């Protein structure tokens, strides 16, 4: 898709991957609607700020009505949580499911019909590697991202005869404050966390090239394939090396 003049909505645009993606889309000449909770941070992206708390159902409905039509939807907003499942309280679980899975489905349902009618559109869902292979002490978070993976594939099949394209962008560890917000910092030496702008660039490339799947970094495509081919061996290695 040619992004010049396209109307793009990016959720979670206040920081991290969302902010990097927003700036990249602005540089491409798109009209970008940057959605998040921090107005000052949104305004700094040079996009059109849209302040909205995605945990507020009424606010989301009102915002969707005010936005109108978009050509590109980037479902990037997400929250994390790390720890044993028994310690995951119901309120936090509901927020994880709401922001990471329910809102992307609702926004897609709202905007895709207009894309189909106009003969132009692209949906990008930002997943996570744990949504494909799981992760120790990430059962709650991984389940929401796994749901997003299934939603993306199902949507892609549903829209296969339409001009609307669907991409799943799967990042690994990214150098943002996501890990601190989830309650556990990223401390592994390998793989190293990569800059958020690499994911932003990958998202823009996926839209421009109508790419179905993108991994950041690229070698991250290997673990899901390994898991699919040799699940028992994968689990033994995951148990040993974490």
Catalytic sites, residue numbers: 141
Q: Burial code of 69-78, b = ≥16 C-beta within 10 A, e = fewer? A: ebbbbbbbbb
Contacts (Cβ under 8 Å, ≥6 apart) of 235? none
What is the rounded radius of gyration, in angstroms, for the C-alpha atoms of the chain?
Answer: 17
CA distance 103 to 54: 7
CA distance 90 to 146: 19
User: β-strand 48-51 against 72-75: which pairing, if any?
Assistant: unpaired
User: Which among 220, 192, 219, 216 has a CA at the least distance from the CA of 205?
Assistant: 216
| Three-class DSSP category at 51 | strand
User: Which among 183, 188, 100 has a CA at the least distance from the CA of 146?
Assistant: 100
Distances (CA, A) of 183 to 88, 124, 141, 158, 214: 12, 27, 12, 37, 27
DSSP 193: P
CA distance 69 to 238: 44
């Amino acid at each position: 898709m040619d992004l010049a003049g396209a109307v793009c909505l990016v959720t979670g645009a206040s920081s991290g991957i969302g902010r990097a993606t927003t700036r990249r889309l602005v540089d491409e000449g798109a009209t970008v609607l940057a959605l998040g909770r921090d107005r000052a941070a949104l305004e700094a992206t040079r996009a059109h700020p849209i302040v909205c708390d995605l945990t507020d159902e009424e606010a989301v409905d009102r915002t969707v009505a005010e936005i109108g039509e978009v050509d590109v939807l980037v479902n990037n907003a997400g929250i994390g949580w790390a720890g044993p499942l028994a310690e995951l309280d119901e309120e936090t679980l509901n927020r994880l499911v709401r922001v990471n899975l329910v809102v992307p489905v609702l926004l897609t349902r709202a905007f895709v019909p207009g894309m189909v009618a106009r003969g132009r559109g692209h949906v990008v869902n930002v997943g996570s590697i744990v949504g494909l292979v799981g992760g120790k002490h990430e059962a709650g978070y991984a389940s929401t991202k796994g749901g997003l993976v299934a939603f993306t594939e199902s949507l892609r099949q549903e829209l296969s005869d339409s001009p609307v394209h669907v991409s799943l962008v799967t990042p690994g560890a990214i150098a943002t404050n996501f890990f601190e917000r989830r309650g556990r910092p990223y401390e592994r030496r390998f793989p190293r966390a990569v800059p958020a702008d690499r994911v932003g660039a990958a998202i823009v490339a996926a839209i421009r090239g109508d790419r179905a799947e993108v991994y950041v970094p690229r070698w991250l495509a290997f673990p899901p394939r390994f898991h699919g081919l040799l699940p028992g061996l994968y689990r033994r290695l995951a148990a040993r090396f974490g």
